[in-house]
């Protein structure tokens, strides 16, 4: 069911990071981007896009092929340097920080093409990320608890190369979660999965948001993004076409013209 207001509802978020949140308190954005523009030579891939993500909120980025979603995603996570604009995370200007620095600060991402260390076990893959934040036994316990969270604990000892696509996607998510993020970027984590696996992933993403994580997701499957997102941004040719709650965006005439007529769903 779609929420009318993107701000997470209480009591879903009565506690976040040890702070008690009172019912009359509106959560401040954990991540915000102001007037982001990215140019590649003569191509303006992203033009003047602003956004904000609050703890527990799911922001969906949609738009036809070439709209600039991946480039915006990369600008937010540090893989591309914006030509203009500012990215603020946890109250700090991170516009010029490297991706790995942002990741350690709590801004983690998955990749469209998952890239595990194929010969390492599932647990070892997650440990590589967990060791960036913790040491020794603590890292191991944390890695294992992340595997439980994504439903891969029973595969902990299996080589990553033996996982099917749905489990590889979960492993990709586990690696990001091992960094103990406050905002998680999901780059097409659901596309390509069969319907039951899609539903499981939808459930997992919802759980993560309910635990207080801010989520930004790029996804081509419209019904998935529309059912999951609190707030949707639709881009076309790098520009903002429409934004708001999923219902508003899905019924926007420009969106229907630019995207829903597209044969992606």
Ligand X SMILES: Nc1ncnc2c1ncn2[C@@H]1O[C@H](COP(=O)(O)OP(=O)(O)OP(=O)(O)O)[C@@H](O)[C@H]1O
Span of 11-19, 68-76, 172-180, 191-199 interacting with ligand X by CB under 6 A: 68-76
Angstrom CA distances, 111 to 5, 18, 26, 172, stand at: 29, 30, 31, 7
For residue 71, state whether it binds ligand X (rule: CB under 6 A): yes
| Residues 158-187, mask of contacts with ligand X (x by CB under 6 A) | ------------------------------
Closest CA to 94 of 81, 83, 111: 81
CB nearer to ligand X: give 30 or 46.
46
For residue 69, state whether it binds ligand X (rule: CB under 6 A): yes
- Do 58 and 230 touch, CB atoms closer than 8 A? yes
Closest CA to 152 of 110, 109, 192, 204: 204
Closest CA to 234 of 59, 12, 37: 59
| Residue of the chain from 22, 24, 65, 263 that contacts ligand X (CB under 6 A) | 65
In the block, residue with structure tokens 């799911």: 58
Span of 65-73, 164-172, 177-185, 246-254 interacting with ligand X by CB under 6 A: 65-73
| Residues 23-62, mask of contacts with ligand X (x by CB under 6 A) | -----------------x--x-x-----------------
Residue 9: count of CB within 10 angstroms of its CB? 12
User: Total binding residues for ligand X by CB under 6 A?
Assistant: 11
**Which residues are near ligand X by CB under 6 A?**
40, 43, 45, 63, 65-71
């Amino acid at each position: 069911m779609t929420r009318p207001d993107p701000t997470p509802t209480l009591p879903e978020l009565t506690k976040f990071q040890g702070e008690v949140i009172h019912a009359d308190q509106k959560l401040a954005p954990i991540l915000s981007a102001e007037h982001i523009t990215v140019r590649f030579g003569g191509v303006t891939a992203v033009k003047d896009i602003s956004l904000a993500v609050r703890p527990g909120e799911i922001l969906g980025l949609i738009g036809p092929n070439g709209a600039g979603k991946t480039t915006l995603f990369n600008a937010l996570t540090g893989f591309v340097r914006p030509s203009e604009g500012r990215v603020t995370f946890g109250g700090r200007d991170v516009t010029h920080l490297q991706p790995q620095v942002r990741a350690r600060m709590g801004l983690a991402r998955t990749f469209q093409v998952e890239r595990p260390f194929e010969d390492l076990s599932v647990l070892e893959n997650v440990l590589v990320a967990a060791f960036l934040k913790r040491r020794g036994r603590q890292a191991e316990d944390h890695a294992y608890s992340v595997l439980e969270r994504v439903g891969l604990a029973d595969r902990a000892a299996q080589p990553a190369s033996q996982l099917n696509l749905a489990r590889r996607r979960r492993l990709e998510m586990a690696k990001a979660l091992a960094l103990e993020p406050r905002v998680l970027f999901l780059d097409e984590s659901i596309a390509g999965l069969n319907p039951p696996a899609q539903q499981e992933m939808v459930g997992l993403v919802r759980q993560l948001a309910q635990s207080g994580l801010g989520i930004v997701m790029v996804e081509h499957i419209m019904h998935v993004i529309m059912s999951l997102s609190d707030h949707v941004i639709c881009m076309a040719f790098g520009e903002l076409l429409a934004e708001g709650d999923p219902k508003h965006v899905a019924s926007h005439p420009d969106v229907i013209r630019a995207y829903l007529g597209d044969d992606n769903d």
